[in-house]
Structure 1
Amino acid sequence: MKSTDDKQADGADAICAQLAADLRELRRAAGSPSYVELARKTGVPRSTLHDGLTGRRLPSLETTLAVAAVCGGDSVEWKRRWVAARASMEEPTRTPAEEPNVPHRRRWALVIAGILVLVAVGVTAAVFVRSSAACSPVREYRIDAAGAVLSGTGATIGAVVAGDTFDVTSLAHDRYPHRYLGTVRRTRVHGYVDEAKLTFVRETCS
């Protein structure tokens, strides 16, 4: 018969594996970008991405959201999934039926503690959702090489040079398969730039 610690470890492994499987499916739907490409676009080390997507350990919230953003996932939904997974890993696996000698008063204390944990998780999730609703995420990229800025019709409407900052609000390739839509901070020109010229810097709120 497994000990409580063994059962908790098994539960944590299963939760990590499920979140990793969901992230891999999102990555597959996005065209299966390599770990090198993911690392360049997210700013997260390849080893950290590998551990998170293979289920070796629960990835951090920052890593989860970075992968989701690159692969076209919804930030609110992935915050909800991560919070739920973390909360499930912290829940006790022992039940009163497995502890026949626990006093009645102690059992009630365990029940109340579990309710408080669920309330705390609910409040945390609500805060995450409100924060996300109040924040319009903007991904900041550094321009590594000069190039053109295109309009939605393919016309050249501006240019970028190495060192420019490019603010991207969506990673969806709605018109061009290898270009992102954003704004060149230096010139305020809004258009499409070749993603090969971009290096991810950080994510901020507008």
Structure 2
Amino acid sequence: MAGRPLGPIPASAPPELRALVVRLRNAKEASGKTFEALAADGGVSESVVRRALAGKRVPSLETVKAITDACGRTEDDMARAWHAAKAEEVLPGAREWGPKMVSSRAELVASMIFMRIASGYPPLHQLEKDAGNDEHGRTRLPHSTLHLVLEGRIPPTETLFTAFMDALSVPAADRRNWLDAHRRLFADAPARRAFGQPPPVVRDEPPALTSCEAAERALPRLERDEEIKRKTGQLKEPDDHELLGLGYLNSPTPEDQWPDEAEIAAWEAEAAAQPPAREQVDLREKLRAMIDRTGPA
């Protein structure tokens, strides 16, 4: 692996990435060091050096600085080349504007990405850690929320935007100008609810009815249904027997609905032949004794 030479830079490599890799390869050739020596002097592994010089993707800024220091070159030129290559990778075709020149929300979000590139493009988890916590102990810059902001899916609040610039150590003068730009472009943006606050009630549907309103709407519907059943013969008016729970007086009665005299006599004889329950006898005796005690002397 140590003696294997590098292949040509891929033809699909963007122009800025190609320019950066050419600079790194020229610095290695001018130093006369092998990959092993560059890795040892730069404090990185040989595989990291080889991937950085392959030209397939933009290496990290730390890797570029390590190779540059190992080759004895200045970091400023290499850093500017890395910034151009990273911006070309993350925001192809985008132009960087100052805080007083941005004119849309998309340009401000793109400026946030340029700020991140200028600081070496740190991971979102690192930015969350660098922003710290608020007075309640909650994180000021949640990485998941920042991810949605940088993708343009939600607007950045002023609190999040301030924490983002704090994590990147943006100078105070630039920070004031960027805050003015944020207020100018996101003045009418809906505010995000605070942590722990319940979500607002969505009124896409009509509000719930009270019991009185529900009754006022239900009674006409019930009256209309009863009127339809009455006209179609499904509902009959109750008479006195029906109100007393005896059924309709004029309703047709089957012949075998009521028992005849023979069935009634057989039921009475069967009931008389059964011995009385002991509990009933005891109750009767107790009742007679109570009557005797409470009677006149």
- TM-score, with length taken from structure 1: 0.41
Whichever of the two has the greater Rg, that structure is 2
Q: Which has the higher helix share?
A: 2
Task: Determine which structure has greater relative contact order: mean sequence separation of CA pairs < 8 Å that are 6+ residues apart, divided by chain length.
Answer: 1
